[in-house]
Structure 1
C-alpha cells in the first residue's frame, strides 16, 4: 500500500485563484459586511472640523529712525520659529484662551449605547419608540451663562434633566436635586456653587452631563486639539490649526489662542522698552548732579584766577578730550545695558569692548598733551572739560528718555496675523470615501482570509486522485444530489434516488459503478460485497440502496443486507418497521433467512433488515451462521450487498469482510480525511485483508478546490432497539 505523497512547498497560483473564485460568495459577503461596518462607523462617528490660521513672525524694527546706539539697546534678536511655536502652545497663552471662552465648562448629552452618536446626528424613523427619553436626538443642546463649582466638585459630574416650560432638575455630585429655570441663577452660597443656564433647546426628559474641569485639564485638552507648524523652512510663517466637533467653536478657540499669543508678544516687546527707560531715568539725576558740580568748580577757579585766556590750540585740545570722554561714557552705558542680556563672549559685547579699548588709548594720548600745558591752562582745560562732558551726558540722557517713551507707546510686537481663523465646510474626519474604501478593502481581505483559512482547515478529500494516492482504485465518483440529501431528515421514509429521479447525474454514476463492480468482481470468491466507510454519514447506506436498485433494474437478482446491527437504518428507505426481524434473528438462530427475506420495490431486489439491535453484535457476526447466510445468498442471488458499520468505529466490517468476496470503502467528498482512508486500510491490513477499492461519494463540483470545509463529530455506539 502506497503512502500519501508529501505536500509540495510550492504555491500553486492557479489553484489559489480557483480557490478564491470558488469562495467568491464568501468574499462578497465579507465585502458587504465590511462596507456595512464602514458605513455604520461613518454614521456613528461625530464629524471633526478643522480651523486654521497663518501667523507671520516679523523682524523687530524701529519705525522712528532712532540712533544706532538706541536701536542696539532695544534690539532683542529675531524669535526663532521653534521658540515661538512653544510659546504659542504654552500654558501662558492657552490659559488665557481657556479663561476667555470658558473652555473648562463641559456640557455633554446622554448618548444611547453603541448607536448614540448616530441617533444624535440623524433623524431615524421609529427611534423614539425604541430608546428611552433621556437619550439625545438631533439639534438638542444646553448653553451655560455661568458655572462656578467649588473645589470639591471640580471634575465631578452633575446631571441636568430637562423639565417642562424651561425648567430643569440638577443632580449635584452629593446627590442633591435642585430645581432651576432658564436665565435664573441657581446657587448654593454655603459652598460657592453657581449655575446659570442661558438656553435650553431640548424636550422634557432629555438628560445632560455638566461638569467644570480643572484649568490644567482644559489647557491639556486645548493643547491636544492645537497643532502649530512652520510652512516651509525658515519662512517665518506659522500655521496654527484647531480640530474639534464644532465648526464655530474651533474658530473661536483659535482666535482666542492667537489673540492671547499676539498680546503677550506685544507685552514682551514693550517690556524691553520699559527696562531701558527705567535705566535711563535712574541715570538722569546722577548726570544732573555731576553737571552742577562741574560748573561750580569751574566758576570757583575762574573767580580765583580773575581771568584766564585759552589759545585756539588749547581750546581744540579741550574739545577733543571732552568728546573722547563723552564717547567713553556712552560706551560704558551701553556696556551696562548689554551685560544684562549678553555674556562677554557675545559678538556684540566683544565689539563694544574693542571699541572702548581704542577710545581709551586715544583719550590717554590727549591727556598727555594736556599735561604738557602750563599749570593754569591745564587746570582751566580740565575744569571746562568736566563741565562740557557733564552737559553732553545730561542732554543725551534727556533726549533718549523721550525717544524710549515714544518707542514704548508705538510698540506693535513682532507677530502679524496674516489669515484669521477659518474652517472649511467639509469635515476633515471621518472621510466617507476613504472609510468606505477601507471597509471594502478590509472586507475583501477578511473574505480572502476566511476562504483560505477554511481551505487550510479543510480535512476532507477533494479529488479522487487523493484516494488513488492511498493505493485504492476508485470504482466510481457519485455526484452530490440535493434531492438525495437527507441530512435534515431524522424521521420518516428516505427517498431512493434511483427510483424517484432516474435521470439524475448521480444515478448515472451508480450505473457506472454497477458496471465497474461487474468486471471488478469476476475473480472474487463469491458475488458478495461489503460496503463500509471510515466514519458515519459518508453515504454508504445511500450508496448500497441505490446500487442495489440499479443492479436489479439491469436484470440481476440482488440481495441487500443491513448488517449494521447498531445504528442501521436501511428500513427507512423501504418503509419497513423499525423492529422488523432480520440479520440479528438469523445470526441468533431464531429464524431462517428464507422466512425473513423481504421483496424490494424493484423486481429482483430483496432486502434483509438488521433486525432488533442486539447487545452483542460483534459476537453474533463471529458465529458460523454468518458464513452460512452469505453462502446461501451467493447461491441464490447474482449480487449480495452488505451494508456494514464504519470501519474506524467498530470491528464489524473486518468480520464481514472475511466472509464476502470484496470490500469497498465509501469516501465522502470534503468529509473523509486522507488519514482516515489510510487508517481504514491499516485496519483491514492488520487482519490480513485488503480493501478492493473505493467509491468517491457526494462530489460537489462547486466545492472542488474552493474554500469549503466540513466538520463532524460522532460516536458510533450500540443502540438497544425497543421491543
Structure 2
C-alpha cells in the first residue's frame, strides 16, 4: 500500500523554505543501500561497458604480436681464479691487472663497444620485413608462418603479406639522406623486384642473388619468397639507432648480491633471432674481455722482442772481441781475485740493465716524478756508484788482466742479459696464450617456448576491471550531472507539498501500452486487466485520499497534469477513473489535451465528437459523453485537433462544459497538457476544484517541479499535492531505511 498524507498543505510564503529531513543525519554517511540500488538500476549499462571492454581486451590479446625472451648467464671471476693455467707465472702477475668489478662489467655489456660489434656482425643496421595489413595482418600471418608457400591474399589485397613471406637482405648501402628513411620493396614476376622511396620514386630495380647498384642505393637480396605484388618495408638505420634499439630490449643484472653471476635477457618477436643476438652479445663480451686482459702482456712482449735483436748483436760482438784477444795474446788465465771481481761487475751490470728495463716499462705508464720511477732511479744510482768502485779496483790490475777482464765481462753481461730477456719473453708468450679472461659463459642463450607477452589472461582480466570501472564512473557521472528526484520524500522536504500516492512501475502497463501503439489491443485498461497490479493498488489508495484533496473545494473536479511530457498523467487519469468507478462512483474523464490527447485510444473510441466540436459546432453535452467498458466510467474526447487549443479552452463554452459535467457525475477528472510546455493547464486549473501534479521518478530535477508549481500558482491555481509515478521497486528493494519501504498485499487463491 502506498504511503498517504491525510491532509493538504495550503500554499504560503514559507513553502519554498528548506524543511530539514527526518533522515538528514544520514546524509553525512555513505548510504550502502542507495549505492546498491543505483548499481542495480544501471546494471545493464555497467554490464554493457564491461562486456565491450572485455571484447576489446580479447581482440587486443589475439592480435598482439607475441614477444619471446632469451636468457643466459655469465660468471665474473676474481683475478686470482681467472688466471687458471698461468697462475704460476708470478713474474708477470702485475701485467694482468686487478680484480674485476661486477658493476663495471654490467656497463660494459651494454656499451657501444660491445653492441656495436654485434650490430656489425649480424648486420642489424638493415631492417627488412613484410608489410602486413593494419592491426590484424600480423595475427593472420602467424597462422601461415610455417607454410611452404605464401598464403593467398584476403579481399584481393595482394600488396600486403598474409603469411609465409620471407626476405633476406645481406647488404644495403644508401645515400646519407636516405638513412633511416622507410623504403618499399615491391615483388615482381620471376624473382624481380623494385625499390621505391617513400614518395614512390624508383630507386633501383633488380633480381634476387644479384648485386643491384643505383645512383643512391646499393642492394643485395639473397632470399625473397613472396607473391608478385607483395610489398616489404626496407630501411637502413644508422649504427647509433641500431645500438639504441638493441640496448632497449637487452637487460643485464647481477643475479644475487655479491654473487658475481650476471643474468642477461633479450626480447624479440622472433624466437630464433632472440637467442642468436644474445649469444652474439655474450661472445663479443667474452672476446673483448680476453683481449683486454692480454693487452698489457702483449705490449710488454712487443717491447722485449724489440730489445732481443740488439742484445744478440752485442753478445756476438763481445764474444768475437774476446776470442780475438785470446788468439792474439794466447791463453790468459784470470787470477782468483780477478774472477771474483769479474763476477761482481757482471752481477752489477745485469742488475743495472734489469732495473733500466723496469724503468722503461714504468715510464710507459707513469711520469718521471712517480714514486715507483724514482725508487728505481735511486737503485740504479747506487748500483752505478758500486760499479765505479769496481772500475777503480780493475784499474790497478795489469794491462793484460784488465783487457781480458773487460772483454770477458762484456761476454758474461751480454749473455746474462740476453738469457734473462729471452726467458721473460717466453713467459709472456705463455701468459698471452693462456689468458682466458675474468668472465665465462655458464649458460648459453636459450629462448623460452612460451611468449612473455602479451599475457592474454591478464589483458582480458584488466580490460574487464577497467570496463567495470568505466561503467561505474559513467554511472557516477550520469548521477552527478542528472540531479533528479528519486523518492517522494524529496518533494515533501523541498517543496512542502504532500505526495498523495506513490505509484510503482508496472511491467503489465508497459506491455499494454506497446500493444495499443501497435494497434493490436485497443480498449484495455490496467485496472481492468490486472486489478491486483501494484500500480492499481496505489491508485486505490489515491482514490481514498482524493476525498481530502477535494475538501473545501467548491467543485468536484480534479485537474491532473505534469511538469513535462511522458510522466504518466494520462495513465493516472484513466486508471484512477476506472478505480473510482469500480467503487460505485460516477466518473467522467475529460481529455483536455487538445494538442496530443490520446485517451480515446485506450478506450477504443474515436477522437471526433469531443471538446472541439462542443465548443465550435454546438454539440449537446449528452452527445459528447461516451460510456466505456467500465461501468460508471464515461469519457469526453478531445475532438478534432484544433489550430488554436488555448483559445478554445478559454472559451465560455468550455467552462460551461466542465460545470455541466460536474452535475452529472460524482468525480470529474480533467487530463491537461504539461504545465511547463504550454499554458493550457493554467487555463483549465482555474475551472477545477483541485489540481494534482504527476511527477515521474528519476525524470525531473527538483527545480523543474518547483517551477511547475510556481507557474500554476502564478496563474491562480493552487496545487494540492503530487502523485509520484514510476517508482522502481526493484531499486527500492536494495535501499535501507524508511526510503526503501514499499508494501504490497495481494489476494491469493
TM over 0.5: yes
Corresponding residue number in structure 2 for 1:524: 553
Deviation at 1:407, TM superposition (A): 3.0
Q: 1:663 aligns with which of 665, 688, 691?
A: 691
Alpha carbons of structure 1 residues 584 and 286: separation in structure 2 relative to 1, 3 Å: same
Deviation at 1:427, TM superposition (A): 0.9
The Cα offsets for residues 130-157 of structure 1, whole Å up to 9 and x where unpaired, read as 563444334x121426444543765442
Q: 2:184·2:231 contact (CA, 8 Å) conserved in 1? A: no
Corresponding residue number in structure 1 for 2:166: 142
Deviation at 1:664, TM superposition (A): 0.8
The Cα offsets for residues 28-72 of structure 1, whole Å up to 9 and x where unpaired, read as 444433332222111101111111112233435273466544332
Q: 1:587·1:623 contact (CA, 8 Å) conserved in 2? A: yes
Q: 1:480 aligns with which of 486, 505, 523?
A: 505
Corresponding residue number in structure 1 for 2:421: 397
Q: Distance in 2 between matches of 1:123 and 1:372?
A: 96
Deviation at 1:537, TM superposition (A): 0.6
Deviation at 1:534, TM superposition (A): 1.0
The Cα offsets for residues 561-602 of structure 1, whole Å up to 9 and x where unpaired, read as 122233333333333444x24334555684554443333332
Corresponding residue number in structure 2 for 1:471: 496
Q: Distance in 2 between matches of 1:649 and 1:702?
A: 31
Deviation at 1:409, TM superposition (A): 3.5
Structure 2 residue 535 is the aligned partner of structure 1 residue 506? yes
Corresponding residue number in structure 2 for 1:198: 223
Corresponding residue number in structure 2 for 1:719: none
Q: Distance in 1 between matches of 2:196 and 2:126?
A: 15
Alpha carbons of structure 1 residues 100 and 481: separation in structure 2 relative to 1, 3 Å: same
Q: Distance in 1 between matches of 2:726 and 2:518?
A: 22
Alpha carbons of structure 1 residues 67 and 128: separation in structure 2 relative to 1, 3 Å: closer
Structure 2 residue 92 is the aligned partner of structure 1 residue 70? yes
Alpha carbons of structure 1 residues 373 and 692: separation in structure 2 relative to 1, 3 Å: same
Q: 1:472·1:692 contact (CA, 8 Å) conserved in 2? A: yes
Q: 2:173·2:236 contact (CA, 8 Å) conserved in 1? A: yes
Q: 1:160 aligns with which of 174, 186, 205?
A: 186
Corresponding residue number in structure 2 for 1:47: 66
SS at match of 2:441: strand
Q: 1:455·1:706 contact (CA, 8 Å) conserved in 2? A: no
Q: Distance in 2 between matches of 1:614 and 1:240?
A: 87
Note the 1:209-608 alignment, pairs <5 A.
Answer: 209-285=233-309, 287=311, 323=347, 326-341=350-365, 350=371, 353-354=374-375, 357=378, 359=379, 363=383, 366=386, 376=396, 391-469=415-493, 470-485=495-510, 486=513, 492=519, 495-578=524-607, 580-584=608-612, 586=614, 590-608=618-636
**TM-score normalised by L of structure 2:** 0.80
Corresponding residue number in structure 1 for 2:134: 113
Tell which deviates more after alignment, 172-181 or 457-466.
172-181
The Cα offsets for residues 235-274 of structure 1, whole Å up to 9 and x where unpaired, read as 3332222211111111222222223333333333443333
Deviation at 1:675, TM superposition (A): 2.0
Alpha carbons of structure 1 residues 161 and 65: separation in structure 2 relative to 1, 3 Å: closer
Q: 1:19 aligns with which of 23, 32, 38?
A: 38
Q: 1:170·1:179 contact (CA, 8 Å) conserved in 2? A: yes
Q: Distance in 2 between matches of 1:368 and 1:670?
A: 119
Corresponding residue number in structure 1 for 2:106: 85
Q: 2:56 aligns with which of 34, 37, 40?
A: 37
Deviation at 1:283, TM superposition (A): 3.2
The Cα offsets for residues 168-227 of structure 1, whole Å up to 9 and x where unpaired, read as 55454465599977x653745777644445362x56665444444444443333333322
Q: Distance in 2 between matches of 1:378 and 1:640?
A: 164
SS at match of 1:395: helix
**TM-score normalised by L of structure 1:** 0.82
Deviation at 1:659, TM superposition (A): 2.4
Structure 2: gaps spanning 5 or more residues: 1-14, 146-150, 736-749
The Cα offsets for residues 613-659 of structure 1, whole Å up to 9 and x where unpaired, read as 44554454445545443332332221111112212223332332232
Q: Distance in 2 between matches of 1:501 and 1:208?
A: 72
SS at match of 1:526: coil
Corresponding residue number in structure 2 for 1:635: 663
Alpha carbons of structure 1 residues 583 and 339: separation in structure 2 relative to 1, 3 Å: farther
Deviation at 1:540, TM superposition (A): 0.6
Q: 2:182·2:233 contact (CA, 8 Å) conserved in 1? A: no
Alpha carbons of structure 1 residues 494 and 234: separation in structure 2 relative to 1, 3 Å: farther
Q: 1:15·1:705 contact (CA, 8 Å) conserved in 2? A: no
SS at match of 1:63: helix
Alpha carbons of structure 1 residues 344 and 587: separation in structure 2 relative to 1, 3 Å: farther
Q: Distance in 2 between matches of 1:128 and 1:169?
A: 19
Alpha carbons of structure 1 residues 116 and 495: separation in structure 2 relative to 1, 3 Å: farther
SS at match of 1:659: coil
Q: 2:153·2:160 contact (CA, 8 Å) conserved in 1? A: no
Tell which deviates more after alignment, 473-482 or 376-385.
376-385
Q: Distance in 2 between matches of 1:129 and 1:404?
A: 68
Corresponding residue number in structure 2 for 1:646: 674
Q: CA RMSD in A?
A: 4.2
SS at match of 1:185: coil
Corresponding residue number in structure 2 for 1:716: none
SS at match of 1:647: coil
SS at match of 1:233: coil
SS at match of 2:662: helix
Q: Distance in 1 between matches of 2:733 and 2:121?
A: 69
SS at match of 2:442: strand
Tell which deviates more after alignment, 154-163 or 440-449.
154-163
The Cα offsets for residues 349-379 of structure 1, whole Å up to 9 and x where unpaired, read as 645644664x358547746965986951699
Q: 2:183·2:233 contact (CA, 8 Å) conserved in 1? A: yes
SS at match of 1:692: strand
Corresponding residue number in structure 2 for 1:10: 29
Q: Distance in 1 between matches of 2:306 and 2:154?
A: 80
